[in-house]
Each structure stands twice: as C-alpha cells, then as structure tokens.
Amino acid sequence: MLTTMSTSPDSPAHIGIVGAGQLARMTLQAAIPLGLRLRLLAERPDDGAALIAPDVLLGLPNDPEALLDFARGCEVVTFDHELVPPPCLDALIAAGTCLRPSAATMRLAQDKSAQRRVFAELGLPVPPFQVLSRESDLAEVIKSLGSPLVLKAARGGYDGRGVWIVDGADNLRARFKELTASGIELIAERWVRIERELAILIARRPGGQTAVYPLVETVQVEGICREVILPAPVSPGLAAEAEEIARTIAEASDVVGILAVELFLAGGRLIVNEIATRPHNSGHYSIEGCVTSQFEQHLRAILDWPLGATAPTAPAVVTVNILGGPTGGDPFAALPCALGLEGTHVHLYGKGARPGRKLGHVTVCASGVEQARRQARKAAELLSGAPIPGEVAT
C-alpha cells in the first residue's frame, strides 16, 4: 500500500531519493539553495527526512509497486541506503527510470563478497578472504586465514551489525551454524591488526569527471564510527595512494554520485575494507569543512552538473557523532549548552533517542586537530549525555 503525504502531489519531482534517513535529510538541505525539488520514499512518516520534506511517499524499498509509483515523474532516482533488492532495481530500469548510481553499481555496493572479488581482480589490497557456503569449508578457512578471523554478512550489515570476530574452530562452527540457519550469506576474512581506519570520498559524473576529497581518519568503536578527523595523520605518500585507490574503484564501478571508500592502515600499508555509493558518515565533516559538501556534490554528480571544489575550509576539521546515551535522553534538551561552545556546528537528525542510535553529529573547524577534536567531543558529550570513548592526546 502506498500512501502519499505530498503537499503538492501534481508538481513534478526532479530527484527521487529512496530512503528518508539522515543522509536524505542532509541532501534536502543541500538541495534548497540549488532550487531542486526532491521526492522521498520513506518507510515511516517519522523517518528523519520525511519529517521535513514536502514530497514524501510512504512505501518499502523492497516493494516494486511502491518504487515504480515513487519513481514516476522523477528525472533521476538515487539512494540513501543499499536496501533495494536487485530485481526491484531491474524493474525500475525496465520502467525507464534513470538510476544514479546504476543498478550494476548498487549491486556491487550491496555485496561485500562481490566487492572483495572485484577489488582483488583490480589488484587492490584486500584482506585475504573466502566465501563460506558449507560447513566442510571451515577447517580449510581456519588453516588459510588463521584465528581469530572475521565473519561478515555478505549483505545488509551496517555499523558493525553483520561483523563477528570469531576465535577458534569450535566457536567458528557454532557461529557459522547459527548464522547460516538464519539465512545469512557469509564471507570469512583474515583478522587485520588495524593501526588506523581511514576513509576517502570521490564524486564522479556520468562522463567520468571526478573530484576527490581529502583523506580522513575515522575512529571506530565496536564497529560504529564515532569521530572523523581531517587531516588523516598519515604521510603524503599514503594519502596519494588512497586517492589512487578511490579513482580506480570509481572508474571500475562506474559510480555516479559520491563513492566512499573505507580503508584500514595495517603494517604501514593500506587495505580496502568496503565501499558505499552514496553520501557517507565519513563525509559529514564536508558540510562545514569543505568548499562543497558531499551532499551538494552528490546532487551535482547525479544531475551531470559541474562538480564543486573539495578543498578543506580550515587546517583541521573534526566531526563527532552523537549516539543515544544509556538513559535514552533526547539530545535536543542539551542543545543550548552545546551551542554555547564556540565554533560548534550541531546537526540533529530528528530521530527518536535510543541508546546507541546515531542521532546527530557535531563538526568543529579549527587551526589544529587537537583543538577541533576537544571542542567537538565536548559538545557531543553534552548532546549524547555520555562520555565519548577514548582520549585526545595532550
């Protein structure tokens, strides 16, 4: 069943976004000065972007009828998540919808197993991995990948849900049985001793023009991104290598829009972890921290318009995510206090507060990383009502 919430149902939508979470919400914000009209397909009326968008259809991303109704009249359809099943993407294409990124690119973004295979074929550094389909594979997997090893759901994981570190043959067998019984397709990969996690964004137009953002460090705690730090504390040589990896993947995946590449630094070398073919948490810093935000850039790229400059606006930019605190308090209550801290840019996503849920972020631009990080963490602590893990070096 499709319900329209549109205040102007007859007006043509220029761009459709499947999904109405915080990425769609921040894309809407970027669309305003460009005079663009956006239509959203939201699962629920209280999704973060559905709360503020004038043109919202309610429907599930795996409902072909909802998708087709939604896409009718959109010049371009793009995505705020990876949840549209391939047959639905094909149905949209068959109906003449312009998907950006394309169905083939979305398939790659949805499948960690395909990503590992394609990146390895491109000669890019990936952790040694194996697709796990039978229990009889397990002994061989421990032999070739060692222990502990990492099990990953090939599809549907996010924020560390869908990643399990498993130690020893017995635990591996038990986990494998439990996960495959619930229908999860698994890959196993070598556990990497990670020194830092890094990310880089690149935007690409249909004709191949690209714009690369600077490399950032992402601080992850239990699989969830907590902080994003610009510049990444690595050598110019590694930063250049990361840029080359991003260009290679952008070209090979034929992405249109923003591509985020997540990387590990291990043993002084880069390893590709995974990609997202949409604006990404590691790029929220670009709203205040770069000449063109990732959200505006995504819109420019999918409309095949000239890409904007990606230079940083300050020597240091730090974003700290606001996660729901243990008591589930609403960050809104602490907003005046957080805004009282100089230089803090607060973004709240309008989501209901739940422990551990990403509710917003704070960005601070400054002359040095330490200063930016301290101030952003202070504000995020006030807003989430809980300490941010880790310490800033003194």
Q: Is 273 in the site for ligand ADP (CB under 6 A)?
A: yes
Handedness of CA 119, 123, 127, 129 (dihedral sign): positive
Cis ω for the linkage preceding 101 (within 30 of 0): yes
Closest approach, Cβ 368 to ligand ADP, in A, equals 26
First to last CA, the chain: 56
Regarding 156 and contact with ligand ADP (CB under 6 A), the answer is no
What span, in angstroms and rounded, lies between the C-alpha atoms of 5 and 78?
20
The β-bridge partners of 17 are: 40, 78
How far apart are the C-alpha atoms of 383 and 315, rounded to whole Å?
A: 25
Instruction: Supply the minimum distance, in Å, between the C-beta of residue 323 and ligand ADP.
Output: 15
Ranges within 317-336 binding ligand ADP (CB under 6 A)? none
Work out whether strand 186-190 and strand 345-348 pair parallel, antiparallel, or are unpaired.
unpaired
Tell me, by CB under 6 A, how many residues bind ligand ADP.
Answer: 20
Rounded to 10 degrees, the C-alpha dihedral 269/270/271/274 comes to 160
Order of strands, sheet of 56-58, starting from the edge strand that comes earlier in the sequence: 3-4, 56-58, 38-42, 15-18, 76-79
Stretch that binds ligand ADP, among 88-96, 115-123, 149-157, 279-287 (CB under 6 A): 149-157
Question: Which residue in 90, 274, 304, 370 binds ligand ADP (CB under 6 A)?
Answer: 274
Place of tokens 């047959």: 87
- Which of 377, 389, 258 has the alpha carbon at shortest distance from 320? 377
Q: Which residue is nearest to ligand ADP (CB)?
A: 192
The 230-269 site mask, x for binding ligand ADP (CB under 6 A), equals --------------------------------x-------
Contacts of ligand ADP in 161-220 (CB under 6 A) = 161-163, 189, 191-192, 194, 197, 220
| Identity of the amino acid at 369 | V
Q: Is 147 in the site for ligand ADP (CB under 6 A)?
A: no
Shortest gap between Cβ of 308 and ligand ADP (angstroms)? 27
Structure tokens, 130: 């194996």
Cβ nearer to ligand ADP, comparing 12 with 146: 146
Task: Specify the stretch interacting with ligand ADP by CB under 6 A; choose among 54-62, 152-160, 178-186, 361-369.
Answer: 152-160
Task: Please identify, using beta-carbon distances, which residue of 211 and 255 lies nearer to ligand ADP.
Answer: 255
Say whether residue 127 binds ligand ADP (CB under 6 A): yes
Smallest distance, ligand ADP to C-beta of residue 157, A: 4
Three-state SS at 229: strand
- Residue 180's alpha-carbon distances to 58, 116, 135, 151, 183, in angstroms, are 32, 20, 10, 11, 5
The interface region with ligand ADP, picked from 69-77, 154-162, 320-328, 339-347 by CB under 6 A, is: 154-162
Q: Is 357 in the site for ligand ADP (CB under 6 A)?
A: no
Kindly list the residues in this chain that would bind ligand ADP in the complex (CB under 6 A): 127, 150, 152, 157-163, 189, 191-192, 194, 197, 220, 223, 262, 273-274
